[in-house]
Chain A
Amino acid sequence: MSFPWAEHYTPKHPFMRYMDEKLPLPRLVYNAVGAGYPVPRNLNYFWNFGVLAGAALAIQILTGIILAMHYAANGLVAFDSVEHIMRDVNQGWLLRYAHANGASMFFIVVYLHIFRGLYYGSYKAPREMVWLLGLVIFLLMMATAFMGYVLPWGQMSFWGAKVITGLFSAIPLVGTTIQEWLLGGFAPDNAALNRFFSLHYLLPFVIAAVIILHIWALHIPGSNNPTGVDVKGPQDTVPFHPYYTAKDGFGLGVFLLIFAILLFFAPNYLGHADNYIPANPLSTPAHIVPEWYFWPFYAILRAFTVDFILPAKLWGVLAMFAAILLLFFLPWLDRSPVRSGNYRPLFKKSFVVLVVDVLVLGYCGGAPAEEPYVMISQLAAAYYFAHFLIVLPIISKIEKPLPLPNSITEAVLKGKDGATLSTNAVAQPAE
């Protein structure tokens, strides 16, 4: 679907007309990302990150398929085969670092993408399905990244595999059975490494499939925009191509520049030195921490240190999963009819607190499990849940939003956030 004023696909070349009658694939592309898809004219640079996430996935799939041509999923040789890639395979070092740092870049852009949605209310009606599918992608990404990190079979790989599958052992009654099923044994070994390789190959294609649904669901209502005001007419939109293909292209250039700096000058900055030590089932590294993109959730996991009705271990696991599952309910927890945080003074403050809170959680997750980090992560974890379950619902009840611009165009013409003095804050229905 698109707005009624979307340009129509009219193939001029006879071959394209022939093609359009048999398999209208060019028409589909034209209507999805071409001139046939009108997009709000006021999108800022926070709207670049969807495309960047897509680019990051493409980089991961491409480099991943190449690495799998040289990697051997066997505990005896896995570590050596990665060193073989680094030393012997032509430009193997480049491809390996690109894949490893590509995962970090993927999570950076996805976190920015998520917080963009949180601030501008992109999860609210009519875009709930876009949000839910996005969270599914996020869960799949985390599973994929986890299994990929196991493959080099270094110390962090091995102990990460042990701890993450150990999460499932906290489930009462069936927990240990599930863990043994996941590992194919009683501790990580060949069986685990071999299946993680298979699934690490599979999941990116599942992600790609869900991304298609994500984009499909987005294209039904069309993109949200910084004002959160609905598109009302042709003056509010520009065609996706060439306006946003160009802007996204520029964003992609910046993304690749940062990626290149990381890749060529600090390829190990975001990694862990301990993963250059081959897996040793008899010794856990003294400062085992997951990859940075798991730190906030890791901090929540270990914030639970005392038994309270349920064992502390189960609480930690429940809380960690709940921290993400909670987001699935966000569209129904935040009842404010105003989408954009720009017009919500209380929400804006709470949003800043949430961002700081998540950063604090991330910092604590990377720190050793000692005081004061345990106490700080307990407080920060408590606030994280309070934000979504208490603060947001209350704010959406008591908050008095600022007047909204009458339209996207008005916001654009009056200034960057459309701080209008209009008395008519009620959104007009789309024509």
Chain B
Amino acid sequence: MATLDTTEPETGENGGEGIRRRDFINIAAVSFAGVGAVSLLYPIVNQMNPSADVLALASIEVDVSAIQPGQAIKTIFRKQPLFVRHLTPAEIAAADGVDAASLRDPQTLEERTKTGKKQWLITMGVCTHLGCVPLGAGEGEAKGEFGGYFCPCHGSHYDTAARIRKGPAPKNLEVPEYAFTSDTVVQVG
């Protein structure tokens, strides 16, 4: 049962108004209970973070030899869509014709592709707004006002270098880490 502590302030060891040893015990006990509660909370929260199997990410290899200029393919990289697009000279010219500094997320096509492989535009197919897959990679899909990609969720338009040009998305489509292992094979990741 709880009892009211009605004892007079001890005048012995600490003298009158000072901090008593019992005050320290009180603070120490509550502090330890707090530490215990937080350490219990941590696994309860952390169990929702990506588990070991999800984190065991792998790289993929994509054979691009069959992709004709003007075509694009969708594939899966880390459970998310990846676009591999073979740009036509007209699309490259359209991308280069834009003053990169005037864009929301300034980048040139040069910076978004590998040296000497300017026709290969490899990006994540994840709209940087809220994560939908933009249209434009598939046959007959709307490419938006800038000839690149159009996200149907909230109307973001990307140009032929997959740079954000219009709509709510804040960034260009992400270019993942990749390298050409041969003329026709790309290793992503």
Are B48 and A284 touching (Cβ within 8 A)?
no
Do A305 and B167 contact each other (CB < 8 Å), given the known contacts A163-B132, A187-B80, A282-B133?
yes
Instruction: Determine the distance from Cα of A288 to Cα of B170 in the docked complex, in whole angstroms.
Output: 20
Instruction: Determine the distance from Cα of A159 to Cα of B132 in the docked complex, in whole angstroms.
Output: 7
A297 to chain B, nearest CB (A): 13
* CB interface residues, A 168-201, toward B, < 8 Å: 169, 180-182, 184-187, 189, 191, 195
Are A184 and B79 touching (Cβ within 8 A)?
no
The size class of the interface chain B forms with chain A is 20 to 34
Contacts of A184 in B (CB 8 A): 48-51, 54
Are B152 and A313 touching (Cβ within 8 A)?
no
Do A307 and B104 contact each other (CB < 8 Å), given the known contacts A284-B133, A316-B168?
yes
Contacts of A304 in B (CB 8 A): 168
* CB interface residues, B 112-140, toward A, < 8 Å: 125, 128-135, 138
Instruction: Determine the distance from Cα of A186 to Cα of B154 in the docked complex, in whole angstroms.
Output: 21
Q: Does B153 contact A (CB under 8 A)?
A: yes
* CB interface residues, A 362-406, toward B, < 8 Å: 368-370, 374
Are A185 and B133 touching (Cβ within 8 A)?
no
Are B54 and A189 touching (Cβ within 8 A)?
yes
Contacts of A167 in B (CB 8 A): 130
Q: Does B81 contact A (CB under 8 A)?
A: yes
Instruction: Determine the distance from Cα of A307 to Cα of B48 in the docked complex, in whole angstroms.
Output: 33
Instruction: Determine the distance from Cα of A189 to Cα of B76 in the docked complex, in whole angstroms.
Output: 13
A166 to chain B, nearest CB (A): 3
Closest A residue to B46 by CB, please name it: A181
Are A282 and B153 touching (Cβ within 8 A)?
no
Contacts of B131 in A (CB 8 A): 162-163, 165-166, 169, 187
Are B129 and A166 touching (Cβ within 8 A)?
yes
A313 to chain B, nearest CB (A): 5
Q: Does B20 contact A (CB under 8 A)?
A: no
Are A305 and B168 touching (Cβ within 8 A)?
yes
Are A302 and B78 touching (Cβ within 8 A)?
no
* CB interface residues, A 85-137, toward B, < 8 Å: none
* CB interface residues, B 41-83, toward A, < 8 Å: 45, 48-51, 54, 74, 76, 78-81
Closest A residue to B153 by CB, please name it: A288
Contacts of A286 in B (CB 8 A): 135, 142, 152
* CB interface residues, A 256-292, toward B, < 8 Å: 281-288
Contacts of A307 in B (CB 8 A): 104, 170
- Residue of B45, B51, B74, B152 touching A287 (CB-CB under 8 A): B152
Closest A residue to B57 by CB, please name it: A186
Are A186 and B78 touching (Cβ within 8 A)?
yes
Q: Does A253 contact B (CB under 8 A)?
A: no
Q: Does B161 contact A (CB under 8 A)?
A: no
- Residue of B49, B80, B81, B135 touching A181 (CB-CB under 8 A): B49
Q: Does A218 contact B (CB under 8 A)?
A: no
B-contact bits for A196-222, CB 8 A (1 contact / 0 none): 000000000000000000000000000
Give 19 CB contacts A-B under 8 Å: A159-B153, A162-B131, A163-B132, A166-B129, A166-B131, A185-B54, A185-B79, A195-B48, A281-B81, A282-B74, A284-B135, A285-B152, A286-B152, A288-B132, A305-B155, A312-B167, A314-B170, A369-B153, A369-B154
Q: 6 closest Cβ contacts across the A-B interface?
A: A369-B155, A166-B130, A311-B170, A284-B132, A166-B131, A163-B130
Query: Could you list which residues of chain A lie within 8 angstroms of chain B, going by C-beta atoms?
Result: 159, 162-163, 165-167, 169, 180-182, 184-187, 189, 191, 195, 281-288, 301-302, 304-305, 307, 311-314, 316, 368-370, 374
